[in-house]
Structure 1
Protein backbone atom coordinates (compact mmCIF):
# COMPACT_ATOMS: atom_id res chain seq x y z
CA UNK A 1 0.00 0.00 0.00
CA UNK A 2 1.20 3.35 -0.87
CA UNK A 3 1.36 5.10 2.23
CA UNK A 4 0.69 8.79 1.33
CA UNK A 5 -0.95 10.20 4.53
CA UNK A 6 1.08 12.96 6.19
CA UNK A 7 0.94 16.73 6.23
CA UNK A 8 3.74 19.24 5.93
CA UNK A 9 4.57 22.93 5.45
CA UNK A 10 3.01 24.81 2.56
CA UNK A 11 5.93 26.87 1.29
CA UNK A 12 4.93 29.80 -0.91
CA UNK A 13 5.87 33.42 -1.23
CA UNK A 14 2.94 34.29 1.02
CA UNK A 15 3.52 31.55 3.61
CA UNK A 16 7.29 31.18 3.76
CA UNK A 17 7.41 32.28 7.40
CA UNK A 18 4.52 30.10 8.62
CA UNK A 19 5.50 27.53 11.25
CA UNK A 20 4.52 23.89 11.03
CA UNK A 21 1.35 23.07 13.03
CA UNK A 22 1.91 21.69 16.51
CA UNK A 23 -0.70 18.93 16.06
CA UNK A 24 -2.43 17.24 13.14
CA UNK A 25 -4.90 14.38 13.38
CA UNK A 26 -6.64 12.79 10.41
CA UNK A 27 -8.89 9.86 9.58
CA UNK A 28 -9.15 8.48 6.03
CA UNK A 29 -11.65 6.04 4.55
CA UNK A 30 -10.26 3.17 2.47
CA UNK A 31 -12.23 1.61 -0.37
CA UNK A 32 -11.61 -0.88 -3.15
CA UNK A 33 -13.81 -1.18 -6.20
CA UNK A 34 -16.43 0.94 -4.45
CA UNK A 35 -16.55 -1.13 -1.26
CA UNK A 36 -15.39 0.20 2.11
CA UNK A 37 -12.51 -1.93 3.36
CA UNK A 38 -11.05 -0.01 6.29
CA UNK A 39 -9.64 3.21 7.73
CA UNK A 40 -6.30 4.91 8.16
CA UNK A 41 -5.56 7.03 11.25
CA UNK A 42 -2.75 9.57 11.18
CA UNK A 43 -1.35 11.77 13.96
CA UNK A 44 1.63 14.11 13.91
CA UNK A 45 3.21 16.53 16.36
CA UNK A 46 5.93 19.16 15.98
CA UNK A 47 7.78 20.92 18.80
CA UNK A 48 9.50 23.59 16.73
CA UNK A 49 12.51 21.47 15.86
CA UNK A 50 11.50 17.86 15.35
CA UNK A 51 8.48 15.90 14.19
CA UNK A 52 6.99 12.53 14.99
CA UNK A 53 4.29 11.03 12.78
CA UNK A 54 2.28 7.88 13.46
CA UNK A 55 -0.17 5.95 11.35
CA UNK A 56 -2.39 2.92 11.84
CA UNK A 57 -4.29 1.02 9.16
CA UNK A 58 -6.78 -1.82 9.37
CA UNK A 59 -8.14 -3.45 6.21
CA UNK A 60 -10.76 -6.18 5.98
CA UNK A 61 -12.04 -7.48 2.64
CA UNK A 62 -13.85 -10.45 1.15
CA UNK A 63 -16.19 -10.60 4.16
CA UNK A 64 -13.26 -10.88 6.53
CA UNK A 65 -11.37 -13.54 4.57
CA UNK A 66 -8.56 -11.04 4.04
CA UNK A 67 -7.33 -8.95 6.95
CA UNK A 68 -4.30 -6.66 7.08
CA UNK A 69 -3.10 -4.26 9.77
CA UNK A 70 -0.16 -1.89 9.71
CA UNK A 71 1.54 0.50 12.12
CA UNK A 72 3.95 3.21 10.96
CA UNK A 73 6.14 5.65 12.89
CA UNK A 74 8.55 8.22 11.48
CA UNK A 75 10.60 10.88 13.22
CA UNK A 76 13.07 13.56 12.24
CA UNK A 77 13.58 17.29 11.96
CA UNK A 78 11.92 19.97 9.84
CA UNK A 79 14.53 22.09 8.09
CA UNK A 80 14.28 24.97 5.63
CA UNK A 81 14.68 22.58 2.70
CA UNK A 82 12.06 20.20 4.10
CA UNK A 83 11.83 17.16 6.41
CA UNK A 84 15.02 15.30 7.37
CA UNK A 85 14.21 11.73 8.54
CA UNK A 86 15.97 10.25 11.57
CA UNK A 87 14.13 6.95 12.06
CA UNK A 88 11.31 4.85 10.66
CA UNK A 89 9.49 1.76 11.91
CA UNK A 90 6.77 -0.27 10.23
CA UNK A 91 5.03 -3.47 11.33
CA UNK A 92 2.37 -5.36 9.40
CA UNK A 93 0.20 -8.33 10.27
CA UNK A 94 -2.08 -10.66 8.35
CA UNK A 95 -3.80 -13.84 9.54
CA UNK A 96 -0.65 -15.85 8.77
CA UNK A 97 2.29 -13.44 8.70
CA UNK A 98 3.93 -10.68 10.72
CA UNK A 99 6.70 -8.44 9.36
CA UNK A 100 8.64 -5.41 10.53
CA UNK A 101 11.06 -2.83 9.16
CA UNK A 102 13.33 -0.46 11.10
CA UNK A 103 15.47 2.24 9.50
CA UNK A 104 17.85 4.77 10.98
CA UNK A 105 19.47 7.73 9.23
CA UNK A 106 22.81 9.47 9.56
CA UNK A 107 22.21 12.84 7.95
CA UNK A 108 21.03 12.30 4.36
CA UNK A 109 21.89 8.58 4.20
CA UNK A 110 20.34 5.41 5.53
CA UNK A 111 22.62 4.17 8.32
CA UNK A 112 20.96 0.86 9.26
CA UNK A 113 18.22 -1.50 8.10
CA UNK A 114 16.62 -4.25 10.22
CA UNK A 115 14.03 -6.59 8.68
CA UNK A 116 11.90 -9.33 10.23
CA UNK A 117 11.93 -11.91 8.79
CA UNK A 118 15.51 -11.23 7.68
CA UNK A 119 15.60 -13.15 4.40
CA UNK A 120 18.26 -12.73 1.73
CA UNK A 121 17.12 -10.74 -1.31
CA UNK A 122 15.92 -12.77 -4.28
CA UNK A 123 18.67 -13.38 -6.86
CA UNK A 124 16.21 -11.97 -9.41
CA UNK A 125 16.03 -8.60 -7.60
CA UNK A 126 18.00 -5.57 -8.79
CA UNK A 127 20.84 -5.21 -6.28
CA UNK A 128 20.82 -2.15 -4.03
CA UNK A 129 23.91 0.04 -4.35
CA UNK A 130 25.31 2.46 -1.72
CA UNK A 131 24.19 5.44 -3.79
CA UNK A 132 20.61 4.12 -3.64
CA UNK A 133 20.62 4.84 0.11
CA UNK A 134 21.74 8.47 -0.18
CA UNK A 135 19.35 11.44 -0.09
CA UNK A 136 16.20 9.36 0.29
CA UNK A 137 13.07 9.49 2.44
CA UNK A 138 11.47 6.68 4.39
CA UNK A 139 7.75 6.22 3.60
CA UNK A 140 6.56 8.55 6.39
CA UNK A 141 9.22 11.15 5.63
CA UNK A 142 8.27 10.87 1.95
CA UNK A 143 4.67 11.70 2.65
CA UNK A 144 5.82 14.79 4.53
CA UNK A 145 8.07 15.77 1.64
CA UNK A 146 5.21 15.33 -0.84
CA UNK A 147 3.59 18.46 0.59
CA UNK A 148 6.68 20.44 1.58
CA UNK A 149 7.16 22.45 -1.62
CA UNK A 150 6.37 25.76 -3.24
CA UNK A 151 2.73 25.84 -4.31
CA UNK A 152 3.68 26.10 -8.00
CA UNK A 153 5.86 22.97 -7.77
CA UNK A 154 3.49 20.63 -5.93
CA UNK A 155 2.85 18.57 -9.08
CA UNK A 156 6.26 19.01 -10.67
CA UNK A 157 8.92 17.04 -8.76
CA UNK A 158 10.39 13.65 -7.92
CA UNK A 159 10.40 12.12 -4.42
CA UNK A 160 13.12 9.45 -3.81
CA UNK A 161 12.00 6.72 -1.37
CA UNK A 162 13.57 3.70 0.35
CA UNK A 163 11.20 1.47 2.35
CA UNK A 164 13.73 -1.01 3.75
CA UNK A 165 13.65 -3.34 0.74
CA UNK A 166 12.98 -1.32 -2.39
CA UNK A 167 14.29 1.99 -3.70
CA UNK A 168 11.86 3.85 -5.96
CA UNK A 169 10.96 7.31 -7.22
CA UNK A 170 7.55 8.99 -7.13
CA UNK A 171 7.43 11.27 -10.17
CA UNK A 172 4.75 13.96 -10.00
CA UNK A 173 3.13 15.77 -12.92
CA UNK A 174 0.19 18.15 -13.10
CA UNK A 175 -3.21 16.76 -14.05
CA UNK A 176 -5.63 19.55 -13.07
CA UNK A 177 -7.79 21.12 -10.40
CA UNK A 178 -11.09 20.07 -8.89
CA UNK A 179 -13.65 22.07 -6.88
CA UNK A 180 -14.98 20.49 -3.68
CA UNK A 181 -18.01 21.07 -1.46
CA UNK A 182 -17.80 21.18 2.32
CA UNK A 183 -20.50 20.14 4.76
CA UNK A 184 -19.17 22.77 7.13
CA UNK A 185 -17.29 25.77 5.68
CA UNK A 186 -13.71 25.75 6.96
CA UNK A 187 -12.60 29.06 5.50
CA UNK A 188 -9.93 27.29 3.42
CA UNK A 189 -9.84 27.19 -0.41
CA UNK A 190 -12.43 24.70 -1.65
CA UNK A 191 -10.25 23.29 -4.41
CA UNK A 192 -8.01 20.26 -4.92
CA UNK A 193 -4.76 20.18 -6.83
CA UNK A 194 -4.64 16.86 -8.71
CA UNK A 195 -1.19 15.36 -9.22
CA UNK A 196 -0.54 12.36 -11.42
CA UNK A 197 2.14 10.16 -9.81
CA UNK A 198 4.29 7.58 -11.57
CA UNK A 199 5.93 4.86 -9.45
CA UNK A 200 9.40 4.23 -10.88
CA UNK A 201 11.33 1.20 -9.50
CA UNK A 202 15.07 1.83 -9.05
CA UNK A 203 16.49 -1.14 -7.09
CA UNK A 204 15.47 -3.96 -4.74
CA UNK A 205 12.63 -5.07 -7.03
CA UNK A 206 12.19 -7.97 -9.44
CA UNK A 207 11.95 -6.64 -13.02
CA UNK A 208 9.42 -9.35 -13.94
CA UNK A 209 6.97 -7.83 -11.41
CA UNK A 210 6.76 -4.72 -13.58
CA UNK A 211 6.07 -6.50 -16.87
CA UNK A 212 2.31 -6.14 -17.41
CA UNK A 213 1.67 -5.50 -13.68
CA UNK A 214 -1.85 -5.63 -12.26
CA UNK A 215 -1.32 -2.20 -10.61
CA UNK A 216 -1.21 0.78 -12.98
CA UNK A 217 2.01 2.34 -11.70
CA UNK A 218 1.87 5.13 -14.30
CA UNK A 219 -1.44 6.69 -13.27
CA UNK A 220 -1.57 6.91 -9.49
CA UNK A 221 -3.23 10.17 -8.38
CA UNK A 222 -2.80 12.29 -5.27
CA UNK A 223 -5.20 15.18 -4.64
CA UNK A 224 -3.74 17.89 -2.38
CA UNK A 225 -5.67 20.62 -0.60
CA UNK A 226 -4.04 23.85 0.51
CA UNK A 227 -4.74 25.07 4.04
CA UNK A 228 -3.13 28.56 4.01
CA UNK A 229 -4.34 29.42 7.54
CA UNK A 230 -2.05 26.68 8.89
CA UNK A 231 0.60 27.04 6.18
CA UNK A 232 0.25 23.42 5.03
CA UNK A 233 -1.11 21.12 2.36
CA UNK A 234 -3.19 18.07 3.24
CA UNK A 235 -3.44 14.94 1.08
CA UNK A 236 -7.18 14.73 0.47
CA UNK A 237 -7.48 11.69 -1.78
CA UNK A 238 -5.15 9.00 -3.13
CA UNK A 239 -6.19 6.75 -6.03
CA UNK A 240 -4.27 3.63 -7.09
CA UNK A 241 -5.81 2.05 -10.24
CA UNK A 242 -5.45 -1.63 -11.12
CA UNK A 243 -6.78 -4.19 -13.58
CA UNK A 244 -9.40 -5.33 -11.04
CA UNK A 245 -10.50 -1.93 -9.72
CA UNK A 246 -9.21 1.13 -7.90
CA UNK A 247 -8.01 1.43 -4.32
CA UNK A 248 -8.96 4.86 -2.97
CA UNK A 249 -8.10 6.64 0.27
CA UNK A 250 -10.35 9.64 1.00
CA UNK A 251 -10.39 12.16 3.84
CA UNK A 252 -13.05 11.70 6.50
CA UNK A 253 -11.92 14.30 9.03
CA UNK A 254 -8.79 16.38 9.64
CA UNK A 255 -8.16 18.45 12.77
CA UNK A 256 -5.24 20.87 12.87
CA UNK A 257 -3.77 22.94 15.69
CA UNK A 258 -1.82 25.72 13.96
CA UNK A 259 1.38 27.21 15.37
CA UNK A 260 -0.67 30.07 16.86
CA UNK A 261 -3.05 27.50 18.48
CA UNK A 262 -5.83 28.25 16.00
CA UNK A 263 -8.08 25.22 15.49
CA UNK A 264 -8.96 24.18 11.93
CA UNK A 265 -11.37 21.35 11.10
CA UNK A 266 -11.89 19.81 7.67
CA UNK A 267 -14.58 17.26 6.96
CA UNK A 268 -15.46 15.52 3.71
Structure 2
Protein backbone atom coordinates (compact mmCIF):
# COMPACT_ATOMS: atom_id res chain seq x y z
CA UNK A 1 0.00 0.00 0.00
CA UNK A 2 2.79 2.44 0.81
CA UNK A 3 4.21 2.21 -2.71
CA UNK A 4 0.81 3.11 -4.14
CA UNK A 5 0.45 5.98 -1.66
CA UNK A 6 3.82 7.48 -2.58
CA UNK A 7 2.98 7.12 -6.28
CA UNK A 8 -0.27 8.98 -5.71
CA UNK A 9 1.56 11.73 -3.80
CA UNK A 10 4.05 12.37 -6.59
CA UNK A 11 2.04 11.84 -9.80
CA UNK A 12 -0.32 14.79 -9.72
CA UNK A 13 -0.34 16.69 -12.97
CA UNK A 14 -1.91 17.51 -16.32
CA UNK A 15 -1.95 14.98 -19.14
CA UNK A 16 -2.56 16.66 -22.47
CA UNK A 17 -3.24 20.12 -21.07
CA UNK A 18 -2.68 22.87 -23.62
CA UNK A 19 -0.62 25.99 -23.09
CA UNK A 20 -0.81 29.41 -24.71
CA UNK A 21 1.72 30.63 -27.32
CA UNK A 22 3.14 33.24 -24.90
CA UNK A 23 4.94 31.34 -22.15
CA UNK A 24 7.64 32.63 -19.81
CA UNK A 25 10.65 30.66 -18.59
CA UNK A 26 10.51 29.53 -14.97
CA UNK A 27 12.45 27.62 -12.33
CA UNK A 28 11.29 25.94 -9.13
CA UNK A 29 13.38 24.64 -6.24
CA UNK A 30 11.28 22.91 -3.58
CA UNK A 31 11.97 20.86 -0.48
CA UNK A 32 9.33 18.67 1.12
CA UNK A 33 8.70 16.89 4.39
CA UNK A 34 6.86 13.56 4.13
CA UNK A 35 4.96 12.21 7.12
CA UNK A 36 2.62 9.40 8.10
CA UNK A 37 0.19 9.85 10.96
CA UNK A 38 2.06 12.99 12.01
CA UNK A 39 5.44 11.23 12.27
CA UNK A 40 8.19 12.19 9.85
CA UNK A 41 8.60 9.59 7.11
CA UNK A 42 11.15 11.22 4.83
CA UNK A 43 12.47 14.24 2.96
CA UNK A 44 12.26 15.05 -0.73
CA UNK A 45 13.48 17.75 -3.10
CA UNK A 46 12.26 18.84 -6.53
CA UNK A 47 13.92 20.96 -9.22
CA UNK A 48 12.04 22.05 -12.36
CA UNK A 49 13.02 24.28 -15.26
CA UNK A 50 10.59 24.94 -18.10
CA UNK A 51 10.37 27.29 -21.08
CA UNK A 52 8.30 27.50 -24.24
CA UNK A 53 10.12 24.61 -25.96
CA UNK A 54 11.34 22.14 -23.31
CA UNK A 55 11.35 21.12 -19.66
CA UNK A 56 13.61 19.33 -17.18
CA UNK A 57 12.42 17.86 -13.88
CA UNK A 58 14.52 16.08 -11.26
CA UNK A 59 13.85 14.94 -7.74
CA UNK A 60 15.29 12.95 -4.86
CA UNK A 61 14.05 11.54 -1.59
CA UNK A 62 15.12 9.53 1.43
CA UNK A 63 13.58 7.95 4.50
CA UNK A 64 14.21 9.74 7.79
CA UNK A 65 12.93 9.79 11.36
CA UNK A 66 11.72 6.65 13.12
CA UNK A 67 11.30 4.81 9.81
CA UNK A 68 15.02 5.05 9.14
CA UNK A 69 15.68 3.05 12.29
CA UNK A 70 13.98 -0.03 10.82
CA UNK A 71 14.46 0.45 7.08
CA UNK A 72 16.83 2.55 4.98
CA UNK A 73 15.83 3.91 1.63
CA UNK A 74 16.62 6.64 -0.89
CA UNK A 75 15.90 7.37 -4.52
CA UNK A 76 16.26 9.78 -7.43
CA UNK A 77 14.13 10.43 -10.52
CA UNK A 78 14.31 12.70 -13.53
CA UNK A 79 12.54 13.47 -16.79
CA UNK A 80 13.05 15.55 -19.92
CA UNK A 81 10.69 16.52 -22.68
CA UNK A 82 9.46 19.07 -25.16
CA UNK A 83 6.77 21.72 -25.00
CA UNK A 84 5.18 22.04 -28.44
CA UNK A 85 1.83 22.21 -30.17
CA UNK A 86 0.35 23.31 -26.87
CA UNK A 87 1.22 20.15 -24.92
CA UNK A 88 3.91 18.41 -22.91
CA UNK A 89 5.80 15.75 -24.87
CA UNK A 90 7.91 13.49 -22.60
CA UNK A 91 11.08 12.07 -24.11
CA UNK A 92 12.89 10.30 -21.26
CA UNK A 93 12.38 9.19 -17.67
CA UNK A 94 14.79 7.57 -15.21
CA UNK A 95 14.35 6.37 -11.65
CA UNK A 96 16.62 4.64 -9.14
CA UNK A 97 15.67 3.47 -5.65
CA UNK A 98 17.83 1.72 -3.06
CA UNK A 99 16.72 0.14 0.21
CA UNK A 100 18.18 -2.40 2.61
CA UNK A 101 16.17 -5.08 0.81
CA UNK A 102 16.56 -4.30 -2.91
CA UNK A 103 17.72 -1.97 -5.64
CA UNK A 104 15.33 -0.88 -8.38
CA UNK A 105 15.87 1.09 -11.58
CA UNK A 106 13.63 2.13 -14.47
CA UNK A 107 14.52 3.80 -17.78
CA UNK A 108 11.93 4.90 -20.34
CA UNK A 109 12.46 6.46 -23.77
CA UNK A 110 9.43 8.03 -25.47
CA UNK A 111 8.30 9.85 -28.57
CA UNK A 112 4.96 11.23 -29.74
CA UNK A 113 3.57 7.72 -30.17
CA UNK A 114 4.46 6.49 -26.69
CA UNK A 115 7.19 4.37 -25.09
CA UNK A 116 9.85 3.31 -27.59
CA UNK A 117 12.31 1.62 -25.23
CA UNK A 118 12.34 0.59 -21.58
CA UNK A 119 14.59 -1.12 -19.07
CA UNK A 120 13.24 -2.28 -15.72
CA UNK A 121 15.39 -3.88 -13.00
CA UNK A 122 14.44 -6.18 -11.46
CA UNK A 123 12.17 -7.20 -14.35
CA UNK A 124 8.45 -7.80 -13.91
CA UNK A 125 7.69 -11.46 -14.52
CA UNK A 126 4.23 -12.52 -15.74
CA UNK A 127 1.99 -14.14 -13.16
CA UNK A 128 -1.57 -15.43 -13.19
CA UNK A 129 -2.75 -12.81 -10.67
CA UNK A 130 -1.19 -9.78 -12.42
CA UNK A 131 -2.95 -7.80 -15.16
CA UNK A 132 -0.50 -7.78 -18.09
CA UNK A 133 0.66 -4.45 -19.55
CA UNK A 134 -0.41 -4.33 -23.20
CA UNK A 135 1.26 -2.31 -25.95
CA UNK A 136 -1.68 0.11 -25.98
CA UNK A 137 -1.02 0.88 -22.31
CA UNK A 138 2.31 2.46 -23.29
CA UNK A 139 0.80 4.94 -25.74
CA UNK A 140 -0.35 8.49 -24.98
CA UNK A 141 1.06 8.32 -21.46
CA UNK A 142 3.02 10.54 -19.09
CA UNK A 143 5.82 9.40 -16.82
CA UNK A 144 5.45 10.20 -13.09
CA UNK A 145 7.89 13.13 -13.16
CA UNK A 146 6.34 14.80 -16.20
CA UNK A 147 3.01 14.38 -14.45
CA UNK A 148 4.31 16.71 -11.73
CA UNK A 149 3.89 19.69 -14.08
CA UNK A 150 0.40 21.13 -14.56
CA UNK A 151 0.07 23.50 -17.49
CA UNK A 152 -3.15 25.51 -17.49
CA UNK A 153 -4.40 26.83 -20.86
CA UNK A 154 -5.90 30.22 -21.61
CA UNK A 155 -5.28 33.66 -20.18
CA UNK A 156 -7.21 33.45 -16.91
CA UNK A 157 -5.59 32.95 -13.50
CA UNK A 158 -3.87 29.50 -13.50
CA UNK A 159 -4.78 28.86 -9.86
CA UNK A 160 -8.37 27.97 -10.70
CA UNK A 161 -10.79 25.07 -11.01
CA UNK A 162 -9.52 24.51 -14.57
CA UNK A 163 -6.27 23.11 -13.17
CA UNK A 164 -8.18 20.16 -11.70
CA UNK A 165 -10.15 19.37 -14.86
CA UNK A 166 -8.06 16.43 -16.06
CA UNK A 167 -7.37 12.70 -15.93
CA UNK A 168 -3.70 11.68 -15.75
CA UNK A 169 -2.75 8.61 -17.77
CA UNK A 170 0.53 7.47 -16.20
CA UNK A 171 2.97 4.63 -16.92
CA UNK A 172 5.86 4.17 -14.49
CA UNK A 173 7.58 1.24 -16.20
CA UNK A 174 5.77 -1.34 -14.11
CA UNK A 175 2.18 -0.19 -13.89
CA UNK A 176 -0.27 1.81 -15.97
CA UNK A 177 -2.86 3.76 -13.94
CA UNK A 178 -5.16 6.78 -14.10
CA UNK A 179 -5.46 9.59 -11.57
CA UNK A 180 -8.62 11.65 -12.09
CA UNK A 181 -8.56 15.14 -10.55
CA UNK A 182 -11.61 17.18 -9.61
CA UNK A 183 -11.88 20.68 -8.14
CA UNK A 184 -12.35 20.94 -4.38
CA UNK A 185 -11.52 24.55 -3.31
CA UNK A 186 -8.91 27.33 -3.24
CA UNK A 187 -6.70 27.48 -0.11
CA UNK A 188 -3.99 29.84 1.12
CA UNK A 189 -0.60 28.16 1.71
CA UNK A 190 2.73 29.39 3.04
CA UNK A 191 6.18 27.79 2.93
CA UNK A 192 8.82 28.49 5.57
CA UNK A 193 10.92 29.77 2.68
CA UNK A 194 9.53 31.12 -0.58
CA UNK A 195 5.94 31.01 -1.75
CA UNK A 196 2.93 32.30 0.17
CA UNK A 197 -0.40 32.61 -1.60
CA UNK A 198 -3.29 30.71 -3.17
CA UNK A 199 -3.22 27.03 -4.13
CA UNK A 200 -5.93 25.09 -5.89
CA UNK A 201 -6.99 21.90 -4.10
CA UNK A 202 -7.88 18.91 -6.30
CA UNK A 203 -9.44 15.65 -5.13
CA UNK A 204 -7.84 12.53 -6.65
CA UNK A 205 -9.38 9.21 -7.69
CA UNK A 206 -7.11 6.24 -8.46
CA UNK A 207 -7.88 3.62 -11.12
CA UNK A 208 -5.37 0.88 -11.97
CA UNK A 209 -5.27 -0.17 -15.62
CA UNK A 210 -2.54 -2.81 -15.90
CA UNK A 211 0.58 -4.15 -14.25
CA UNK A 212 -1.21 -4.46 -10.90
CA UNK A 213 -2.58 -7.40 -8.91
CA UNK A 214 -6.34 -6.80 -8.42
CA UNK A 215 -6.50 -9.14 -5.42
CA UNK A 216 -4.05 -7.08 -3.34
CA UNK A 217 -5.54 -5.32 -0.34
CA UNK A 218 -3.61 -2.12 -1.02
CA UNK A 219 -4.90 -1.85 -4.58
CA UNK A 220 -8.50 -2.37 -3.46
CA UNK A 221 -8.10 0.19 -0.68
CA UNK A 222 -6.71 2.88 -2.98
CA UNK A 223 -9.44 2.32 -5.58
CA UNK A 224 -12.06 3.05 -2.91
CA UNK A 225 -10.09 5.85 -1.26
CA UNK A 226 -12.07 9.13 -1.30
CA UNK A 227 -9.51 11.07 0.76
CA UNK A 228 -6.66 11.86 -1.62
CA UNK A 229 -5.88 15.52 -2.34
CA UNK A 230 -3.21 17.70 -3.94
CA UNK A 231 -2.58 21.43 -3.44
CA UNK A 232 -1.17 23.01 -6.63
CA UNK A 233 0.83 26.26 -6.46
CA UNK A 234 2.21 28.39 -9.33
CA UNK A 235 5.73 28.70 -10.69
CA UNK A 236 6.32 32.46 -10.89
CA UNK A 237 6.03 34.01 -14.34
CA UNK A 238 4.56 30.89 -16.00
CA UNK A 239 1.27 29.05 -16.33
CA UNK A 240 2.73 25.98 -14.62
CA UNK A 241 1.44 24.64 -11.30
CA UNK A 242 3.37 22.17 -9.14
CA UNK A 243 2.34 20.22 -6.00
CA UNK A 244 2.83 22.25 -2.82
CA UNK A 245 1.12 19.69 -0.61
CA UNK A 246 -0.46 16.26 -1.08
CA UNK A 247 -2.28 13.94 1.31
CA UNK A 248 -3.51 10.36 1.10
CA UNK A 249 -5.59 8.59 3.75
CA UNK A 250 -4.22 5.16 4.66
CA UNK A 251 -5.32 2.46 7.09
CA UNK A 252 -2.69 3.64 9.60
CA UNK A 253 -3.02 7.41 9.23
CA UNK A 254 -2.67 10.30 6.79
CA UNK A 255 0.35 10.16 4.48
CA UNK A 256 1.30 13.74 3.64
CA UNK A 257 3.91 15.61 1.65
CA UNK A 258 4.25 19.38 2.25
CA UNK A 259 6.70 21.99 0.99
CA UNK A 260 8.95 23.61 3.58
CA UNK A 261 10.69 25.61 0.83
CA UNK A 262 9.03 26.53 -2.48
CA UNK A 263 11.16 29.06 -4.34
CA UNK A 264 10.33 30.05 -7.91
CA UNK A 265 11.79 32.60 -10.30
CA UNK A 266 11.91 33.49 -13.97
CA UNK A 267 14.86 32.02 -15.88
CA UNK A 268 17.41 34.41 -17.34
CA UNK A 269 19.91 33.39 -20.02
CA UNK A 270 20.93 29.78 -20.64
CA UNK A 271 19.23 27.11 -18.59
CA UNK A 272 21.21 24.81 -16.37
CA UNK A 273 21.09 21.03 -16.72
CA UNK A 274 20.25 19.68 -13.27
CA UNK A 275 21.32 16.12 -12.54
CA UNK A 276 19.75 15.58 -9.14
CA UNK A 277 17.86 17.75 -6.73
CA UNK A 278 19.73 18.02 -3.43
CA UNK A 279 18.29 16.91 -0.12
CA UNK A 280 18.02 18.99 3.04
Same fold at TM > 0.5: yes
Structure 2 CA distance for aligned equivalents of residues 225 and 121 of structure 1: 40
Aligned residues: CA RMSD: 2.8
Tell me the equivalent position of 2:169: 160
Structure 2 CA distance for aligned equivalents of residues 5 and 202 of structure 1: 15
Residue of 209, 215, 220 corresponding to 1:202:
209
Aligned 8 A contact 1:6 1:42 in 2: no
Tell me: CA distance 1:26–1:6, structure 2 relative to 1, closer, same or farther (3 Å). farther
Tell me, which stretches of 5 or more residues in structure 2 are unaligned? 1-5, 270-280
1:254 aligns with 2:262: yes
Q: Deviations over 1:26-78 (max 9, x none)?
A: 11111111012221111123465322211100013435112221110111112
Residue of 41, 47, 53 corresponding to 2:57:
53
Structure 1 CA distance for aligned equivalents of residues 193 and 117 of structure 2: 46
How far has the Cα of 1:154 moved from its partner? 1.1
How far has the Cα of 1:185 moved from its partner? 8.4
Tell me the equivalent position of 1:20: 25
Aligned 8 A contact 2:235 2:265 in 1: no
Tell me the equivalent position of 2:181: 172
Residue of 111, 114, 119 corresponding to 1:109:
114
Tell me: CA distance 1:229–1:112, structure 2 relative to 1, closer, same or farther (3 Å). closer
Tell me the equivalent position of 1:243: 251
Q: Secondary structure at the match of 1:154?
A: helix
Structure 2 CA distance for aligned equivalents of residues 52 and 119 of structure 1: 28
Q: Secondary structure at the match of 1:180?
A: strand
How far has the Cα of 1:155 moved from its partner? 1.3
Aligned 8 A contact 2:236 2:266 in 1: no
Q: Secondary structure at the match of 1:85?
A: strand
Aligned 8 A contact 1:142 1:159 in 2: yes
Tell me, which stretches of 5 or more residues in structure 1 are unaligned? 262-268
Alignment of 1:71-220 (within 5 A): 71-144=76-149, 147-150=150-153, 151=158, 152-181=161-190, 190-209=197-216, 213-215=220-222, 217-220=225-228
Q: Secondary structure at the match of 2:133?
A: coil
Structure 2 CA distance for aligned equivalents of residues 223 and 101 of structure 1: 28
Tell me: CA distance 1:221–1:140, structure 2 relative to 1, closer, same or farther (3 Å). same
1:232 aligns with 2:240: yes
Structure 2 CA distance for aligned equivalents of residues 169 and 20 of structure 1: 29
Structure 2 CA distance for aligned equivalents of residues 78 and 195 of structure 1: 24
Structure 2 CA distance for aligned equivalents of residues 71 and 45 of structure 1: 17
Q: Secondary structure at the match of 1:17?
A: coil
Which TM-score applies when normalising by structure 2? 0.80
Aligned 8 A contact 1:20 1:232 in 2: no
